[in-house]
Structure 1
Amino acid sequence: MIDKDLLTATVNEAIEGTPLFLVDIDVRPGNTIVVEVDSTEGVDIDQCVAITRKIEERFDRDVEDYELEVGSAGLTSPFKVRGQYIKNIGNPVEVLTRDGRKIKGTLTSVSDTDSSFVITIKTKVKEPGKKKPVEVEEPITLTPDECKYVKYLIEFK
């Protein structure tokens, strides 16, 4: 079985000094390895090749056979690490909370001290003396523990 800690250290070594950050490493039965990385600038094929080569240097296929897939975290995949939240500040997101609420809004900030983040949603409020409801922005502070998922929201206009 592939040593996940050594694999993680190898990937972190490969991305050191680059804008890339590690999102997830999954070692599945049958030694199928899936490495997900991301970056605020995007991930290109050359970066994935460099990571693949570093892993292949450290893990000899003759000693332990494995299948390796290195790629970027999917656009519609749920956020797994803080870097993905930071990357998506200012972008529309969809959140499904543990209590079943689905919230769509704009990710406006990520805390430096804890894992909380703020989403701004637009709501209509009936103000006294006005005939029509007025649209206001309301910030909602959440933590990843309160959410089943948080992901980038693709909007077609």
Structure 2
Amino acid sequence: MIQTAVKNLVDEALALNESLYLIDLSISENNKVQVVVDGDTGVPLSECIRISRNINDNLDREEEDFSLEVTTPDIAHPLKVKRQYIKNLNRILKVKNAEEEFEGTLVAADEDKIVLNWKAREPKLIGKGKVTVQKSVTIEYKDIIEAKVKIVF
């Protein structure tokens, strides 16, 4: 199956709703097409159906049989595109880079980097005990190995 043809159909369907964006598109060897879309304010089921129909109605099953699944990203899966970071501002993220792992509130996200803030307990400079300090880290997207939204109950 031609991935570019499927990608063009997905792009065509997404163009009708600018708040939606493609996270992942994969086609397995046995022609299982899996499309993962997200939206700035979530994705209603009706939009998944609309995207699925646009793909299904414009590909010929007589020419090549396929199965199709249009879904939204699972909360347990890592963030993949920059728009997902913007969508998750003010949420707690776990972010891994090559050196360490950070957990903090996502307070900023732009084209190049993200900023996390958190509070930590550190020993006092003078005397016994600990003091709470505000910490912050700026991480460029290219340095992020994995970033996940932390689920808080």
* TM-score of the two chains, using structure 2 as the length reference: 0.90
Matched residue type, 2:143: E
After superposition, the C-alpha distances for 1:85-132 in whole angstroms (9 at most, x for unaligned) are: 110011011112223x222111111123x2x11111222234445754
SS in 2 for 1:140: strand
Distance across 2 between alignment mates of 1:108 and 1:130: 33
In the alignment of these two chains, the number of paired residues is 152
How do 1:37-76 residues align onto structure 2 when only pairs under 5 Å count? 37-76=37-76
Q: CA deviation at 1:53?
A: 0.5
SS in 1 for 2:145: strand
Which residue does 2:135 correspond to in 1?
138
Per mean C-alpha deviation after superposition, the further-off stretch among 16-25 and 46-55 is 16-25
Q: CA deviation at 1:29?
A: 1.2
Which residue does 1:92 correspond to in 2?
92
Structure 1 spans left out of the alignment, 5+ residues: none
Share of identical aligned residues, percent? 30
Q: CA deviation at 1:36?
A: 0.4
Match for residue 120 of structure 2 among 120, 123, 138? 123
**Aligned alpha-carbon RMSD (Å):** 1.7
* TM-score of the two chains, using structure 1 as the length reference: 0.88
Which residue does 1:12 correspond to in 2?
11
Structure 2 spans left out of the alignment, 5+ residues: none
After superposition, the C-alpha distances for 1:123-148 in whole angstroms (9 at most, x for unaligned) are: 22344457542222211111233222
